[in-house]
A and B are shown apart, each in its own frame.
Chain A
């Protein structure tokens, strides 16, 4: 009997639509506990495929008959095998096409809203890893912010909507994922901007991104204003787009704030982080819609799958913005830091252009969740 494949895109839609799904994850226990597919109404059972080689009889009664069942593994092969065994035992199940590898690389474009003069703001949700990238479109021109290494998705999307990519930005030197910014800029002859304080060791040419360098997309009114906002890295820069949106990079998230330690400078940067969040951001309009570079948990997704919230609402609800005492804040962001992202040093060096790992190696470096925040 043949078994049906579900694509990463189809599973993403189930998350956005809050559908139930039963996931039989057949990876080994440590990989599963590190990182898995999460949805509002997803249930999980983890049984490694190598414990099922002699048969699936032992787990049949643990698999519900009233829910759609998805078998997941690292790259697909083992989930196909287990799906076929379950299918022979009389169950209807699907497997995840491309496994967790495809899951980690899937980007779902979501329109966040309209800009003046018919422009649009799109968010690219990397659902499996929690990275968020942006495309600002106006009058046939597009700017991309914090692109992931799946560069074709951005270039094809711009083609489809008839926009030419003219500017590419990174809010900071990323430590959790490999930036696609430089490659997109090379392929499209766009200008690549990086904050110079994060780029001291980079080995390629870039346009230094500093406050005051307003960039205009399209030929009229959409301006992108950089706002120096150190703390996660020393160069971290936010953007105010069209006086509507605050692209906060890895400084401020919906339910958490950035961690200051991924360049090994936690003690030095915690003061900058506080200054940015409690003074610079505080001085901005509460009406700005915050668009961060990551989400951490599925509850941060809005109804349409986007990750966005008004700055005023975050000042009211986000714990990291409500620690009055400075010493307490220092402790909160430097004690008990979560584990660092997988291969974060190698990822930083890749983003500086110092090392050039092949695609397979890049994939392996990025495996797992992003871990850029402190809750």
Chain B
């Protein structure tokens, strides 16, 4: 999937993946897509819930080994 920006949050523990995602999202325009790579397993539920509460759209996610990948479209 094409992303406008990539955020590497690997090795970071909660709450940092979301703190960084929020920051990165602020630099995007509405409709642009952020790709996030994380290793904290809690990120899966939290990113989905965060995106929903912030009006963003979680387009897709994938598990590649230990790395969790997410694509979120800014609302």
A and B physically associate? yes
| Chain A interfacial positions (CB closer than 8 Å to B) | 28-31, 48-51, 53, 73-75, 77-78, 81, 364
Measured in the bound complex, the distance between the Cα atoms of B18 and A73 in whole Å is 14
Measured in the bound complex, the distance between the Cα atoms of B16 and A29 in whole Å is 19
Give every chain B residue within 8 A of A48 (Cβ-Cβ): 46, 49-50, 53
Give every chain B residue within 8 A of A49 (Cβ-Cβ): 14-15, 18
Whether A74 contacts B14 in the complex (CB less than 8 A), given A50-B22, A53-B19, A364-B41, comes out as: yes
> Once the chains bind, are B50 and A75 in contact (CB under 8 Å)?
no
Give every chain B residue within 8 A of A51 (Cβ-Cβ): 53
Closest to B22 in A: A53
Measured in the bound complex, the distance between the Cα atoms of B35 and A293 in whole Å is 45
> Once the chains bind, are B14 and A77 in contact (CB under 8 Å)?
yes
Encode B32-45 as 1/0 by CB contact (under 8 A) with A.
00000000011001
Q: What is the size category of the interface that chain B forms with chain A?
A: 10 to 19
Q: Decide if B13 is an interface residue (CB 8 Å cutoff).
A: yes
Give every chain A residue within 8 A of B53 (Cβ-Cβ): 48, 50-51
Measured in the bound complex, the distance between the Cα atoms of B17 and A77 in whole Å is 11
Measured in the bound complex, the distance between the Cα atoms of B4 and A95 in whole Å is 38
> Once the chains bind, are B13 and A75 in contact (CB under 8 Å)?
yes
Whether A77 contacts B15 in the complex (CB less than 8 A), given A53-B22, A364-B41, comes out as: yes
Give every chain A residue within 8 A of B15 (Cβ-Cβ): 49-50, 53, 77-78, 81
> Once the chains bind, are A50 and B13 in contact (CB under 8 Å)?
no
> Once the chains bind, are B18 and A50 in contact (CB under 8 Å)?
yes
Give every chain B residue within 8 A of A28 (Cβ-Cβ): 45-46, 49-50
Give every chain A residue within 8 A of B13 (Cβ-Cβ): 75, 77
Chain B CB within 10 Å — which of A48, A50, A78 has the most?
Answer: A50
Measured in the bound complex, the distance between the Cα atoms of B42 and A77 in whole Å is 11
Give every chain B residue within 8 A of A74 (Cβ-Cβ): 14, 42
5 contacts between A and B (CB under 8 A): A50-B46, A53-B19, A74-B14, A75-B42, A78-B14
Whether A30 contacts B14 in the complex (CB less than 8 A), given A50-B50, A53-B22, comes out as: no
* Minimum C-beta distance from B53 to chain A (A): 6
Closest 10 CB pairs of A and B: A28-B49, A78-B15, A50-B50, A50-B18, A77-B14, A77-B13, A74-B42, A78-B14, A49-B15, A28-B45
